């Protein structure tokens, strides 16, 4: 669950079937008799038609015959329709009722924006702005995670080169781990200018390791360096020479990444 603040109103966003659903209940929480607005909006004939079109486009299990009956009744003085009635009769996917701590009425973002426009055009614009900001933050985090996973994959390629070339056959697991750690620290020095131990000593209050706090650009560069180091190892290049070459490559690549305006979102 995520939350955004729209005109001093905290609005919850959940993921339902891999789609964003926004709380209509939260939108009207600070409005007097706000909850009644949801059912008032739902009884509006234009709303019913909009919901029906959306469901027919995206919901193969939508109960169209029940919908036609509801649409024919909409607009009459005697017409009453609650969220529960709508979801149960039509098998709606666009609007859902959620129970529990974060319960309330949630709607797919397409529908939520339509409801926000009906409540207040100004509120809708601020909702769109904050929702977009949230998506940009999520994309940035996703990019960082993807690059972190890439470095892990390349790390396995890197360690395979170490295992097959640098580690003698007759060594213990403990001795082998020393060689792995030594090569990993060589990359840390080339990239960050310090070993893992030195970083921990400088940041005793932080959890994780030096790579967990790297920027996306640094992770991109580190991923490239791991691949190159595996090649250099297979070529028989001694570690001191590899360290110097990888450090020069790191400086060059970081300069390109940091100065390339088209990659500013990667920071």
Residues 256 and 141 occupy one common structural domain: yes
Domain that holds residue 153: 135-266
- Rounded Cα distance, 210 and 148, in Å: 12
The per-residue pLDDT for range 115-148, each reduced to its tens digit, is 999 988 898 898 988 888 888 777 666 555 555 5
Residue 192's alpha-carbon distances to 1, 87, 213, in angstroms, are: 35, 55, 11
Domain-located, residue 99: yes
Please state the domain count of the chain.
2
The separation between the first and the last C-alpha atoms of the chain, rounded to the nearest angstrom, is: 25
Residues 215 and 96 occupy one common structural domain: no
- Taking alpha carbons only, the member of 249, 3, 257 closest to residue 133 is 3
What's the pLDDT at 225?
A: 84
Residue pair 83/97 in contact (Cβ under 8 Å)? The answer is yes
Secondary structure class of 166 (helix, strand, coil):
helix
Residue 105 backbone dihedrals phi, psi, to 5 degrees:
-95, 125
Residues 144 and 113 occupy one common structural domain: no
The per-residue pLDDT for range 31-64, each reduced to its tens digit, is 888 788 898 998 889 999 999 999 999 999 999 9
The per-residue pLDDT for range 143-179, each reduced to its tens digit, is 555 555 656 656 665 566 555 554 445 545 565 566 6
| Positive or negative: CA dihedral 125, 127, 133, 139 | negative
What's the pLDDT at 121?
A: 87
Domain-located, residue 114: yes
Residues 168 and 106 occupy one common structural domain: no
The residue with tokens 């008032």 is 40
**Is the pLDDT confidence value at 266 over 50?**
no
Domain-located, residue 127: no
């Amino acid at each position: 669950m995520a939350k955004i603040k729209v005109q001093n109103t905290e609005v919850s966003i959940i993921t339902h079937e891999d789609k964003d659903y926004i709380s209509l209940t939260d939108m009207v929480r600070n409005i007097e008799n706000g909850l009644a607005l949801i059912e008032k909006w739902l009884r509006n004939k234009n709303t019913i038609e909009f919901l029906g079109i959306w469901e027919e486009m995206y919901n193969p299990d939508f109960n169209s015959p029940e919908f036609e009956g509801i649409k024919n009744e909409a607009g009459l003085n005697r017409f009453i329709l609650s969220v529960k009635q709508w979801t149960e009769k039509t098998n709606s996917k666009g609007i859902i009722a959620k129970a529990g701590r974060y319960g309330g009425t949630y709607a797919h973002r397409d529908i939520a924006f339509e409801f926000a426009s009906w409540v207040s055009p100004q509120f809708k614009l601020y909702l769109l702005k904050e929702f977009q900001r949230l998506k940009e933050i999520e994309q940035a985090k996703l990019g960082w995670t993807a690059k972190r996973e890439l470095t892990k994959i390349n790390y396995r390629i890197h360690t395979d080169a170490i295992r097959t070339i640098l580690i003698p056959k007759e060594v213990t697991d403990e001795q082998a781990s020393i060689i792995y750690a030594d090569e990993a620290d060589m990359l840390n020095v080339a990239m960050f200018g310090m070993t893992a131990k030195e970083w921990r000593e400088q940041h005793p209050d932080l959890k994780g390791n030096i790579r967990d706090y790297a920027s996306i650009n640094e992770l991109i560069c580190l991923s490239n360096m791991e691949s190159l180091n595996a090649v250099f190892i297979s070529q028989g290049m001694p570690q001191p020479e590899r360290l110097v070459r990888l450090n020069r490559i790191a400086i060059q690549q970081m300069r390109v990444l940091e100065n390339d305006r088209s990659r500013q979102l990667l920071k």
